[in-house]
Amino acid sequence: MTCASCSSAVERTLNKLEGVDLAQVNLATETATISFDEGSLDLDKIKAAVKRIGYGVNEAIDPKAKEEERKRELKDLGHRLIINAILTVALMTLSMGSMIGLNLPVSALTNALLQMALATGTLIGGSAFFTKGYTLLFRREPNMDSLVAIGTTASYLYSVWGVVQIILGDATALHHHLYFEGVGMILTLVMLGRYLEHRSKGKTGEAIGKLMELAPQTATILVNGEQKTIDASEVKVDDIILVKPGEKLPVDGFVISGHSAIDESLLTGESIPVEKSLGSEVYAATLNTTGALQYRASKVGSDTALANIITLVQQAQGSKAPIARIADKISGIFVPIVIAIAFVTFAGWMLAKAPFDLAILRA
């Protein structure tokens, strides 16, 4: 998802499904939270509904793998942005150079052909806008990509038609009415915005990832009096866990043996370690500072206090102020309205018996 209209489209689709009580889509984290009746709906049907409107669905994946994928996407987008920016600067020079006193030693035809070649390069660099934009348009769920695709396609085709007219000898009339530079500028600016947005999302993901990394990756459990080191994700409720001084606690639980001071500043902000003894409650990711402790696991995985904090952070990122909800509603109909206005404008000029090229230009 790349814009508010994308998340609105997915949210509308999910909420229309029979059996869905409530669906909320978080654009910042690109996640959906769905409450539904398992008797009338299953995950496969939900995935199919989302895929029908042109979006992919991934179940919860490892945060590190997701971060690596995000970095690859950001790097690829950055490379395409740089190439498009270079092509656009060249386009602007050819198109607007004469306005700032540059003497371009090329004929009108050569200038037009160079602009067309450069604009074609920007279209290739921004191909993702066209594949996604037109796909969603044909599925009657247009988004901002659809608007970008339609606008740049219209400008490009109109300009190509102008180049053809120049080749046929009408250079005087049309060499000042090419809009190839608009194609490059629109694609480059939108790509720049998309790049900055991806970077912002990445910082959000990194913050959550750092919270997740606070908990240790392994745990030492006692099985029949013997110590055994396992992954923290494998700890089960009622397992007996041994924590030595200087180690972090892998899960929540209650002390059954030992005495120590636990640094809980991560959770409470309290800088002074809290004394823990028999029956005391302890929490995942807190630091054991003095003595060894044995405690019984009571909450593991997504039930720990740390996991709940992470969930609250994610929910806060996805929460919307009243003005944001209004903006989402507007964005959901913005693209269709813009497209409709363009068609009405074109039809109006044609009914007024204006030349076809003028009607296209005004639309």
- A 10 A CB-CB count for 97 gives 13
Q: Which helix (H) or strand (E) holds 147?
A: helix 144-167
- A 10 A CB-CB count for 146 gives 24
On the question of pLDDT at 17 being above 70, the answer is yes
Which residue intervals of the chain bear CATH 3.30.70.100? 4-52
On the question of pLDDT at 262 being above 90, the answer is yes
Q: What is the pLDDT of residue 339?
A: 82
**8 Å CB contact between 357 and 158:** yes
- Interval 121-151: pLDDT, tens: 999 999 989 988 888 888 777 778 888 998 8
Q: How far apart are CA 83 and CA 126, in angstroms?
A: 10
On the question of pLDDT at 173 being above 70, the answer is no
Q: Which residue has the higher pLDDT, 275 or 68?
A: 275
On the question of pLDDT at 362 being above 80, the answer is no
CATH class, 4-52 region: alpha beta
On the question of pLDDT at 330 being above 90, the answer is no
Q: For residues 34-41, give the mean pLDDT.
A: 82
SS3 22: strand
Write the CB contacts of 300 (distance below 8 Å, at least 6 apart in sequence).
Answer: 235, 236, 237, 251, 252
Q: What is the pLDDT of residue 255?
A: 94
Torsional class of 176: left (φ above 0), alpha (ψ -120 to 50), beta (otherwise): alpha
Which residue intervals of the chain bear CATH 2.70.150.10? 218-300
Q: What is the pLDDT of residue 170?
A: 64
Of the candidate ranges 210-224, 229-243, 250-264, the one whose mean pLDDT is the lowest:
210-224
Of the candidate ranges 204-213, 299-308, 331-340, the one whose mean pLDDT is the lowest:
204-213
CB contact burial 6-31 (16+ within 10 A = b; e otherwise): bbbbbbebbeebeebeebbbbbbbbe
Q: For residues 221-239, give the mean pLDDT.
A: 90
Beta partners for 258?
293
Q: How far is CA 146 from the centre of its chain?
A: 17
Q: What is the pLDDT of residue 224?
A: 87
Q: Which residue has the higher pLDDT, 98 or 46?
A: 46
Highest mean pLDDT: which range of 23-37, 96-110, 150-164 = 150-164
For the entire predicted model, the pTM comes to: 0.70
Of the candidate ranges 57-61, 87-91, 355-359, the one whose mean pLDDT is the lowest:
57-61
Write the CB contacts of 79 (distance below 8 Å, at least 6 apart in sequence).
Answer: none
Q: For residues 255-281, give the mean pLDDT.
A: 91
- Residue found under tokens 């949210």: 11
Q: Give me the percent of the chain exceeding a pLDDT of 90.
A: 33
Beta strands in the chain (DSSP E): 20-26, 31-36, 218-223, 226-231, 240-243, 252-258, 260-263, 274-276, 281-282, 287-288, 293-299
Q: What is the pLDDT of residue 45?
A: 84
Q: How far apart are CA 107 and CA 111, in angstroms?
A: 6
CATH of domain 218-300: 2.70.150.10
Q: How far apart are CA 142 and CA 219, in angstroms?
A: 49
Q: How far apart are CA 55 and CA 10, in angstroms?
A: 8
